[in-house]
Amino acid sequence: MNVYNEQRISPTSIGGGQIRYKRIPNHIGVIPDGNRRWAVERGMEKKEGYYYGISPGFQLYEICSEIGVKELTMYGFTVDNTKRPAAQKEAFQRACVDAVMDLVGRNAELLVVGNTESPCFPRELIPYTNRVKFGDGRIKVNFLVNYGWDWDLNQKDWPASKDISRIDLIIRWGGRRRLSGFLPLQSVYADIYVLDELWPDFLPEQFYRALNWYQTQDTTLGG
């Protein structure tokens, strides 16, 4: 049932390309939670935390691209999130736009999925609601922006997220053990790994911890 559990890779030995994972997830989903808690812990306003979540996303893109992950989906913000105070809403909208723009022109196939009919959807991201290839397009990167699970499943041609494939591994930062509406159809068989660290405190070691754990999981798909 589980052919991988003899293998444990030490995160400290990562680097220089000498590590070969037996199992690289084709598709990794990321729930980058904890921006507001991180800001409050530092005496900042909650809204200030989102800015510090941009650089971690870019680092993660680089690592995934390097080790051969085929698709990466980032949970940007949801329709539910837009009920938060206006200052926070503006801050996470800005952070999402900046995160996407950071990747424009790099080696990636970009796609933004979310409800474009609402004023909460940033206009700058409209060009990426159909997948756009940059460079050698070696990795698909999807951002959920003004996304709602019920919106996703209630379109005439559903799911609205049909260009996003099934997810193998979901990594959630910030300690909560839940999906919070993240792509319910693509997540049905995903292994879920929760890190207690808050997203702005991202370190590559945290990602490798999740990947090491993933080596030990089987994939029966119910069979």
Residues that bind a copy of itself (CB under 8 A): 1, 37, 78-81, 83-84, 149, 153, 176-181, 184-185, 187-194, 217, 221-223
* Min CB(184)–a copy of itself separation in Å: 4
Sheet strand arrangement including 191-195: 132-134, 108-113, 140-147, 71-78, 27-32, 169-173, 191-195
Round to whole Å and give the CA distance between 161 and 75: 13
Nearest to a copy of itself of 36, 106 (CB atom): 36
Please tell me the distance from the alpha carbon of residue 66 to that of residue 162, in angstroms, as a whole number: 26
**Smallest distance from the beta carbon of 155 to a copy of itself, in angstroms?**
13
Closer residue to a copy of itself, CB minimum distance, 61 or 199 = 199
Q: How far is the CB of 211 from a copy of itself (least distance, A)?
A: 14
Minimum CB separation of residue 202 from a copy of itself in Å reads 20
- Measured between alpha carbons, how far is 110 from 122 in angstroms, rounded to an integer? 16
R_g of the chain computed on alpha carbons: 17
Looking at the Cβ atoms of 78 and 115, the one nearer to a copy of itself is 78
Closer Cβ to a copy of itself, 101 or 192, answer by number: 192
Contacts of residue 149, defined as CB under 8 A and 6 or more positions apart, other chains included, come to 181, 182, 183, 184
